[in-house]
């Protein structure tokens, strides 16, 4: 019998699928937006982190059950840091 997925795993899988969809053009409604996920569902799509955080707190007060990401970023791109200032 397979173990039940945790809420964190469900949130991460949903985020990963949306990011893949952004790359291949199937999730265009999230393009350039900030996305908030709670309990395995998209609950907020906004333009500011304050708005995302506020809505996520209303929907799910336990931050361990939430996930958010910037749909305008390329998470495959490598950024090199040459030195710390």
Q: What is the pLDDT of residues 29-84, one digit of tens each?
A: 898 999 999 999 999 999 999 999 999 999 999 999 999 999 988 888 888 888 87
Predicted TM-score of the model (pTM): 0.82
- Tokens in use for 42? 């998209």
Confidence band of 3 (pLDDT split at 50, 70, 90):
low
State the pLDDT at residue 1. 41
DSSP-derived secondary structure for 4-62: PPPHHHHHHHHHHHHHHHHHHTS-GGGTTSEEEEETTEEEEEESSHHHHHHHHHHH-S-
Query: Do β-strands 66-70 and 34-38 pair in parallel, antiparallel, or remain unpaired?
Result: antiparallel
State the pLDDT at residue 59. 96
State the pLDDT at residue 26. 83
């Amino acid at each position: 019998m397979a173990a039940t997925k945790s809420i964190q795993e469900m949130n991460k899988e949903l985020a990963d699928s949306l990011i893949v969809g952004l790359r291949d053009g199937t999730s265009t409604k999230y393009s350039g937006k900030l996305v908030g996920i709670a309990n395995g569902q998209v609950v907020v799509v906004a333009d500011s982190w304050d708005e995302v955080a506020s809505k996520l707190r209303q929907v799910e007060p336990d931050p361990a059950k939430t996930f958010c990401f910037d749909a305008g970023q390329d998470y495959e791109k490598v950024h090199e840091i040459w030195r710390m200032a």
